[in-house]
Chains A and B, each alone.
Chain A
Amino acid sequence: MKLLEVRNLKVFFPIKDKLFGKPDKFVKAVNDVSFHVEKGEIFSIVGESGSGKSTIAFTLMGIYRKNNGDIVFNGKKIENIGDFDLLRKRIQIVFQDPDSSLDPRKRVRDIIGEGLKIHKIGTKAEINRKIEDVVEKVGLTQDILKKYPHELSGGQKQRVGIARALILEPELLILDEPTASLDVSIQAQILNLLVELQERLGLTYILITHDLNLVKHISDRIMVMYLGKVMEIGSTAQIMSGPLHPYTKALLASVPVPDPEKRNEDEETLTGEIPSPLNPPEGCPFRPRCKYSMDDCWNELEPIEMKERIVFCHLYKEHENSGGV
Chain B
Amino acid sequence: MSSGPVRAAWLRIEEIIDPLFPGGTNPMRNLGALACLMFAALLVSGIYLYIHFDTSTDGAWQSIKRLSDEQPWLGGWLRSMHRYAADLFVTFTLLHLLREWVLGHYSRFRAMTWLTGVPLLAFMYVSGIGGFWLNWDVLGQYAATASAELIDALPMLDGTLARNFLDSGAVSDRFFSLLVFIHLGVPLMLLFGLWFHLQRVTRPRILPPCALLLGQLVFLAAMALAWPVTSGAPADLDRVPVALALDWFVLHPLPLATALSAAVFWSLLAVLFGVLLAMPVFYARHTEPVAVVDADNCNGCRRCVDDCPYSAITLEAHPDGKPGKQIAVVAVERCASCGICAGACPSATPFRSVSELVNGIDMPQQSVDSLRRKLVDDLAHAETAPVVVFGCRHGIDVERNRSVDVLGYNLLCIGLLPPSFIEYALRGGAAGVVVCGCADASCEFRLGNQWTRERMLGTREPHLRRTVPPDRHRVVMLGRHEQGPLDAAIDSVRKNTSQGGNP
Chains A and B come from one and the same complex = no
Binding site for A on B (CB under 8 A): none
A interface with B by C-beta (< 8 Å): none
